[in-house]
């Protein structure tokens, strides 16, 4: 099984974290990278053909704040009406249209929320990475220090994996739904 997690940057010149989580039997392995453009992301998704794509970015933008953003505010989710979030939401909603053309199994997640719910969150990225290694996740994670974007992409992929296994819930409504791990 292959799951892709993406920590999308609002600006295509900035780093987007990209993670492929491979699950075979009880083995979980991640390969991570940094991508920039939408075409790079779409090309990689087309090559990989994942079972699900989980993106840490708003996938619906209508110019106003969404109930799901308000509901997850306690976890640090930001309103889509903030300037930086608006740019991210516009890119996320545009990219979502393209991804759905060849992979309709696409979900919006909040990496920080997932990390907090699952007990991995720490302001120190190295501590967070160590906790993931202790949880028996292998691959790039135990070969080098990962960037914050790559770690967030891992949490996106983990949330996608949990979603495939029925261990998530949706927060929000028709104006936007964010998938989070079940508590």
pLDDT tens, position by position, 128-148: 999 999 999 999 999 999 999
pTM for this entry: 0.95
CB neighbours (10 Å) of residue 13?
7
Tens digit of each residue's pLDDT (9 = 90 or more) over 60-74 = 888 888 888 888 888
How far apart (Å, rounded) are the C-alpha atoms in residues 134 and 30? 14
Question: What is the count of structural domains for the chain?
Answer: 1
**Cα distance between residue 97 and residue 100, in whole Å:** 5
Determine the structural domain holding residue 46 and report its residue range. Answer: 2-181
pLDDT at 40: 97
Say which CATH number the domain at 116 has.
Answer: 3.30.420.10
């Amino acid at each position: 099984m292959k799951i892709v997690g993406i920590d999308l940057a609002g600006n295509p010149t900035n780093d987007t974290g990209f993670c492929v989580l491979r699950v075979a039997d009880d083995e979980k392995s991640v390969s991570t990278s940094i991508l920039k453009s939408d075409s790079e992301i779409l090309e990689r998704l087309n090559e990989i053909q994942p079972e699900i794509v989980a993106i840490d970015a708003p996938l619906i933008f209508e110019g106003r704040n969404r109930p799901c953003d308000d509901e997850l505010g306690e976890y640090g989710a930001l309103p889509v009406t903030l300037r930086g979030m608006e740019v991210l939401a516009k890119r996320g909603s545009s990219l979502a249209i393209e991804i759905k053309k060849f992979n309709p199994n696409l979900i919006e997640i909040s990496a920080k929320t997932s990390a907090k719910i699952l007990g991995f969150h720490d302001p120190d990225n190295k501590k967070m990475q160590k906790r993931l290694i202790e949880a028996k996740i292998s691959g790039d994670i135990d070969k080098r220090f990962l960037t914050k974007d790559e770690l967030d992409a891992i949490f996106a992929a983990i949330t996608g994996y949990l979603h495939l296994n029925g261990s998530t819930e949706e927060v929000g409504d028709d104006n936007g739904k964010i998938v989070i791990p079940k508590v």
